[in-house]
């Protein structure tokens, strides 16, 4: 099921990023622990009670030197276009400003559900002073305090009550959903076209059904696939769409719905920092990943060049050491036939389950060859392991004390599991759980 999207809109300094961090804080810090990966704090998952949703801080979308009003209009436009529900934030200590009224006007015309959060209401006495905000026209104002974490429950109850019911199309378990990500001009649209023109690809005529993406279903060798549209594939030419953060936002939404993410690199220009950042998002989301080196026609494409390029990729994308690399050319279509088999394999591994007894044999063998470590006089004891979920494959390792399972030993276990079961193309997760 598609997760609902909530966007926070409001002028600078009302406390948008404070609230954003409060709602997603823990997840963000987990994500930042991944080596080589940076994270923009504009899009993240948040939870309220039993509901998980995606949250956008539109304040993080900056538009260079544009004047404040232009920025706010564009941010409101992003919220209206992307979100199911909008949190309009104002500052309870400053009252209504002209900029608030301007944003209110845009949001009002959108017909999207808007929940009004009045921030910086740090103590109960101040709650009496927020009634002027009724005049903005969005019903009851919700007093909140980002710094003290007050009032967020009531605000979120209201937000969640506006979420669309689950009538959206289901994610078909037998279909492989994939997306292509990469910076502008790496050849995403060219590659989509090349894939769809391949032999024995049958493109379904059913037009895209989702509201916010153009999905292309096709069948090859009796396997159903859906290509999810990503940033840059449709060019609409507004200012914000050319900003890097906006294209990342679109890519993140596509990644979210994918089983497999193809991360594209341009062989002609080589690897740049932005490529790493974009690829990092796919890894963080726990999706299967295939690295595609496009425009392979522009370099001397012998074995040696391929080997050298591969080494460069491995050095730059250490966090994607599990991802296969495919070299191809979208324009000459050379080697494009090698891609779909890799997508298929990565997808199979992403949802692979291993048997508990075989898994435990592997773990016990691993411990025998490389005994567990001791920390502060306490020795790590591994009792048993079991696979708890798929997409990505995740393993719980039951131990005497989770703190004793070092990152390096975890990494060692991961490598052994990979050697034994072959999880090429997919990240795997290992959690330590206490069991006495
Ligand atoms: P943004 O520009 O809308 O993202 O605003 P920030 O989250 O960066 O917050 C702007 C300033 O307001 C910061 O100095 C925050 O510490 C402060 N702030 C945020 N929330 C509250 C709050 O609930 N009460 C008070 N007193 N200050 C807050
Ligand atoms: P997107 O912005 O990632 O969707 O990139 P496009 O598909 O629009 O391609 C950007 C440019 O790169 C276009 O001029 C393409 O013709 C060119 N291009 C795409 N794939 C290849 C390729 O395999 N080889 C060469 N030489 N050029 C390519």
DSSP letters, 214-260, are: -EEEEEETTEEEEEEP-TTTS----TGGGSHHHHHHHHHHHHHT-SE
CB 98 within 8 A of CB 47: no
Domain covering 356-434 in this structure, CATH number = 3.30.300.20
The beta-strand segments (E) located in 85-161 are: 85-91, 114-119, 142-143
65 is in an annotated binding site: no
How does residue 387 score in pLDDT terms, banded at 50, 70 and 90? very high
Q: What is the pLDDT of residue 166?
A: 61
How does residue 206 score in pLDDT terms, banded at 50, 70 and 90? low
In short, whether 298's Cβ falls inside 6 Å of ligand 2 is yes
Q: At what angle do helices 273-284 and 244-256 cross, to 10 degrees?
A: 30
Q: What are the beta bridge partners of residue 201?
A: 220
Task: Indicate the SS3 state at residue 153.
Answer: helix
pLDDT tens, 138-164? 999 999 999 998 999 999 999 999 998
**Residue of 68 and 35 predicted with greater confidence:** 68
In short, whether 179's Cβ falls inside 6 Å of ligand 2 is no
The CA-atom distances, in angstroms, between 79 and each of 85, 164, 244, 278 are 8, 16, 16, 22
Does residue 295 carry a pLDDT above 60? yes
Which residues touch 183 (CB under 8 Å, ≥6 apart)? Answer: 232, 247, 266, 272, 274, 275, 278
Does residue 390 carry a pLDDT above 90? yes
1 is in an annotated binding site: no
The distance from CA 47 to its chain's CA centroid, rounded to whole angstroms, is 15
The bound ligand whose nearest atom lies closest to the alpha carbon of 233 is: 2
Does residue 239 carry a pLDDT above 70? no
Q: What is the pLDDT of residue 32?
A: 42
What's the rounded Cα separation, in Å, for the pair 4 and 2? 6
In short, whether 263's Cβ falls inside 6 Å of ligand 1 is no
Does residue 269 carry a pLDDT above 90? yes
CB 353 within 8 A of CB 359: no
pLDDT tens, 118-134? 999 999 888 888 889 99
| C-alpha 263 to ligand 2 mean position (Å) | 14
Q: What is the pLDDT of residue 343?
A: 98
CB 91 within 8 A of CB 120: yes
| C-alpha 255 to ligand 2 mean position (Å) | 21
Nearest to 418 by CA among 397, 391, 395: 395
Pocket test for ligand 2, best of 293, 330, 338 (most atoms within 8 A of CB): 330
Does residue 1 carry a pLDDT above 80? no
Which residues touch 435 (CB under 8 Å, ≥6 apart)? Answer: 383, 398, 399, 400
pLDDT tens, 320-337? 999 999 999 999 999 999
Average pLDDT for residues 388-394, to the nearest whole number?
92
The bound ligand whose nearest atom lies closest to the alpha carbon of 188 is: 2
Which residues touch 31 (CB under 8 Å, ≥6 apart)? Answer: 37, 39, 44, 284
In short, whether 334's Cβ falls inside 6 Å of ligand 2 is no
Q: What is the pLDDT of residue 37?
A: 44
What's the rounded Cα separation, in Å, for the pair 54 and 48? 11
CB 93 within 8 A of CB 26: no
Q: Which atom of ligand 2 is nearest to the CA of 184?
A: 2
205 is in an annotated binding site: no
Protein residue with least CA distance to atom 27, ligand 2: 295
**Residue of 380 and 240 predicted with greater confidence:** 380
Which residues touch 311 (CB under 8 Å, ≥6 apart)? Answer: none
In short, whether 146's Cβ falls inside 6 Å of ligand 2 is no
Q: What b/e readout covers 234-260, taking b as 16+ CB neighbours within 10 angstroms?
A: eeeeeebbebbbbbbbbbbbbbbbbbb
Does residue 82 carry a pLDDT above 90? no
Does residue 250 carry a pLDDT above 70? yes
Domain covering 4-161 in this structure, CATH number = 3.40.50.300
In short, whether 344's Cβ falls inside 6 Å of ligand 2 is no
In CATH terms, the fold of domain 176-350 is: Rossmann fold (3.40.50)
| C-alpha 21 to ligand 1 mean position (Å) | 11
Percent of the chain with pLDDT over 70: 87
114 is in an annotated binding site: no
Q: How many CB atoms lie within 10 A of CB 25?
A: 12
Nearest to 284 by CA among 255, 324, 246, 313: 255
Does residue 43 carry a pLDDT above 90? no
CB 385 within 8 A of CB 431: no
In short, whether 175's Cβ falls inside 6 Å of ligand 2 is no
25 is in an annotated binding site: no
Do β-strands 201-203 and 85-91 pair in parallel, antiparallel, or remain unpaired? unpaired
Percent of the chain with pLDDT over 90: 51
In short, whether 122's Cβ falls inside 6 Å of ligand 1 is yes
Does residue 88 carry a pLDDT above 50? yes
Q: What is the pLDDT of residue 436?
A: 67
Does residue 189 carry a pLDDT above 90? no
Average pLDDT for residues 263-278, to the nearest whole number?
90
Backbone angles phi, psi at 404, to 5 degrees: -85, -10
Domain layout of the chain by residue ranges: 4-161, 176-350, 356-434
In short, whether 75's Cβ falls inside 6 Å of ligand 1 is no
What's the rounded Cα separation, in Å, for the pair 329 and 335? 7
Q: What is the pLDDT of residue 146?
A: 92
Rounded to the nearest integer, the mean pLDDT of the chain is 85
Least confident of 21-25, 113-117, 296-300, 409-413: 21-25
| C-alpha 295 to ligand 2 mean position (Å) | 7
Do β-strands 85-91 and 114-119 pair in parallel, antiparallel, or remain unpaired? parallel
Q: What is the pLDDT of residue 338?
A: 95
Domains 4-161 and 356-434 in one fold: no
Does residue 165 carry a pLDDT above 80? no
Q: What is the pLDDT of residue 234?
A: 45
Q: What is the pLDDT of residue 254?
A: 85
| C-alpha 186 to ligand 2 mean position (Å) | 6
| C-alpha 19 to ligand 1 mean position (Å) | 8
Q: What is the pLDDT of residue 61?
A: 72
Q: What is the pLDDT of residue 240?
A: 46
In short, whether 17's Cβ falls inside 6 Å of ligand 1 is yes
**Residue of 73 and 119 predicted with greater confidence:** 119
The CA-atom distances, in angstroms, between 90 and each of 21, 79, 159, 168, 398 are 17, 16, 16, 32, 47
**Residue of 117 and 210 predicted with greater confidence:** 117
CB 417 within 8 A of CB 350: no
| C-alpha 197 to ligand 2 mean position (Å) | 16
349 is in an annotated binding site: no
| C-alpha 55 to ligand 1 mean position (Å) | 18
Protein residue with least CA distance to atom 25, ligand 1: 120
Alpha-carbon Rg for the chain in angstroms:
24
Task: Indicate the SS3 state at residue 47.
Answer: strand
**Residue of 180 and 169 predicted with greater confidence:** 180
């Amino acid at each position: 099921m598609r997760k609902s999207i909530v966007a926070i809109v409001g002028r600078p300094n009302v406390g948008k990023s404070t609230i954003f961090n409060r709602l997603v804080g823990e997840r963000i810090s987990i994500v930042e622990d991944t080596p080589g990966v940076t994270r923009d704090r504009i899009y993240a998952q948040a939870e309220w009670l039993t509901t998980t949703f995606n949250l956008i801080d539109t304040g993080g979308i900056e538009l260079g030197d544009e004047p404040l009003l232009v920025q706010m209009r564009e941010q409101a436009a992003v919220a209206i276009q992307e979100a199911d529900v909008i949190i309009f934030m104002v500052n309870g200590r400053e009252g209504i400003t002209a900029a608030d009224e301007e944003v209110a006007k845009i949001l009002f015309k959108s017909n999207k559900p808007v929940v009004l959060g009045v921030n910086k209401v740090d103590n109960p006495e101040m709650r009496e002073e927020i009634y002027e905000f009724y005049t903005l026209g969005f019903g009851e104002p919700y007093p909140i305090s980002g710094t003290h974490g007050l009032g967020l429950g009531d605000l979120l109850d209201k937000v969640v009550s506006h979420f669309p019911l689950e009538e959206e199309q289901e994610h078909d378990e037998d279909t492989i959903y994939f997306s292509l990500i990469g910076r502008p001009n790496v050849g995403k649209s060219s590659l989509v076209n090349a894939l769809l023109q391949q032999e024995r690809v049958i493109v379904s005529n059913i037009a895209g059904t989702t509201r916010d993406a153009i999905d292309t279903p096709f069948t090859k060798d009796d396997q159903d696939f859906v290509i999810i549209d990503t940033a840059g594939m449709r060019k609409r030419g507004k200012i914000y769409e050319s900003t890097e953060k906006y294209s990342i936002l679109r890519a993140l939404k596509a990644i979210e719905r994918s089983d497999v993410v193809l991360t594209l690199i341009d062989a002609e220009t080589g690897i740049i920092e932005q490529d790493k950042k974009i690829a990092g998002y796919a890894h963080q989301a726990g999706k299967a990943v295939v690295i595609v080196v496009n425009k392979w026609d522009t370099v001397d494409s012998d074995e040696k060049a391929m080997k050298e390029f591969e080494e460069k990729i491995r050095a730059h994308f250490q966090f994607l050491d599990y991802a296969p690399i495919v070299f191809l050319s979208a324009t000459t279509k050379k080697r494009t036939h090698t891609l779909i088999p890799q997508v298929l394999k990565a997808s199979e591994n992403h949802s692979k389950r291993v048997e508990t007894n075989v898994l435990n044999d592997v773990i016990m063998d691993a411990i025998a060859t490389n005994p567990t470590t001791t920390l502060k006089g306490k020795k790590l004891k591994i009792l048993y392991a079991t696979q708890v979920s798929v997409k990505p494959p995740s393993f719980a390792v039951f131990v005497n004390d989770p703190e004793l399972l070092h990152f390096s030993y975890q990494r060692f276990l991961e490598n052994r599991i990979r050697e034994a079961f072959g999880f090429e193309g997919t990240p795997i997760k290992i959690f330590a759980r206490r069991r006495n």
